Structure 1
């Protein structure tokens, strides 16, 4: 990717400063519900001008994140019981999309931007994450594509794939003038085994019933990890370094940080809210 280009997506990445909040190594005590509360907090803080642009990274072990649509599955509890028996925690996120798998081989990245006076077009946010991901791995491959991969879990037009095998998915969340663009990157282990888990979840939660919403028919062969696709033994730490190196090329500076001032109180409010929503759905 040429850095001389100045597309709207690249303009988003060219921040004067990137505030880095790295939560990729907090371990099992850091729960996925906390992550979604963190992004809502940062969306609000950035949108209100109390913080500049933020890049937050996060990893959660053995967690299935369901979307709101998944809660309408006719035999949801059967599906959840299966996932729990396989050792997975199950939560419902506070945004759209469908079920995804998180584990120690999946790195999540959230880029949080202020909308400012001119709203950020939804595709511009997606494109920014796409361009960042391509740049992070430009020395390994030039074959990363953004298109829907039929048969993958949580399919969408910004699935990222190599040779039609998906390794990442991108979503967005918007709150009070802040935009969080989120990606999960399957770094290592087996992408098809993750997909098989979701395939069995839908089988048990649907039990062959017709539903108004068309849930995906999972084909495990269309999903893989970056390690499988590139032949390189990549780790989360390797990809973290690639991420920070890429951001540094577009930014005046990077600085590590945690929640500050009123953000802490705001975080507790959002965390409590998502806990209550999960109690309702579960």
Structure 2
């Protein structure tokens, strides 16, 4: 597997900690907002000005659905089950399937410019390399391969001892790429998996469908705290992210959105609202 330096040539990074935001320019800071923010960051200015960004985000009690999930035969019943469990549902604009988020899950977005000639797989490997580097003092046992029975399964599931704690998706906008990872840091990974399992049971009811949805097995999922036997918090992980970024870069900037980026954000936010019109009235 390639390491970070093989793929990410930049030495200057923009660091955005949005993990405690309640509003973003007068918009409630929900997962809808987060995906619009990443899209706006991906629409880089002309070459020579582009600074890659690393952004942290946390959303309480949200199940982020993939586009195929929106075609489940009994979607409304699945959404209702999530609402009764206290979870808000959002359909994202990047790849993947249903993922459970809460305040024990840290999301990291790595947004890179000029990715037109860099493969999707290389971008995934950049994120895997970064996570391994970030946790190098705690474990050398992180593997990247599909964990069958996990929710949102993929070739770049991150696991320890066959139990998944993180999944990666990717969104390409023009020449920019947003590589997004969720990290189950604290809490019980099995409880999150059981919620997603119940969602699919309610939304699919065992029917044959053109798309193959995961048969979720909660036993193959866990949080990092559970896997390592170490009490880790999202706050701890945020410190590790920033420290790792400082180690792999020369200069970190933290400036807020420019007026031009805010215009792009507003447009992408409206697109996310439109994408979610179908489920807005179900919850």
- TM-score band w.r.t. shorter chain: over 0.9
Question: Displacement, 1:27?
Answer: 4.2
Question: 2: CA distance between counterparts of 1:142 and 1:153?
Answer: 24
The answer to whether the 8 A contact 1:16-1:253 is kept is yes
Question: 1: CA distance between counterparts of 2:228 and 2:237?
Answer: 13
TM-score, normalised with respect to structure 2: 0.93
Give the gaps of 5 or more residues in structure 2: none
Question: 2: CA distance between counterparts of 1:14 and 1:176?
Answer: 19
* Residue matched to 1:18: 13
Question: 1: CA distance between counterparts of 2:3 and 2:193?
Answer: 34
Is the alpha carbon distance of 1:48 and 1:77 closer, same or farther for their aligned partners in structure 2, counting shifts above 3 Å? farther
TM-score, normalised with respect to structure 1: 0.93
Is the alpha carbon distance of 1:50 and 1:257 closer, same or farther for their aligned partners in structure 2, counting shifts above 3 Å? same
* Residue matched to 2:53: 54
Give deviations 1:212-231, integer Å, cap 9, x for gaps: 11110000010000000111
Give deviations 1:184-235, integer Å, cap 9, x for gaps: 0000000000000000000011112111111100000100000001111111
Question: 1: CA distance between counterparts of 2:224 and 2:9?
Answer: 26
The answer to whether the 8 A contact 2:76-2:279 is kept is no
* Residue matched to 1:3: none
Question: 2: CA distance between counterparts of 1:210 and 1:64?
Answer: 23
SS in 1 for 2:266: helix
* Residue matched to 1:191: 189
SS in 2 for 1:80: helix
Question: Displacement, 1:12?
Answer: 3.4
Aligned residues between the structures: 276
Question: 1: CA distance between counterparts of 2:48 and 2:213?
Answer: 39
1:36 aligns with 2:35: yes
SS in 2 for 1:263: helix
Give the gaps of 5 or more residues in structure 1: 1-5
Question: 2: CA distance between counterparts of 1:170 and 1:99?
Answer: 12
* Residue matched to 2:205: 207
* Residue matched to 1:253: 251
Is the alpha carbon distance of 1:16 and 1:46 closer, same or farther for their aligned partners in structure 2, counting shifts above 3 Å? farther
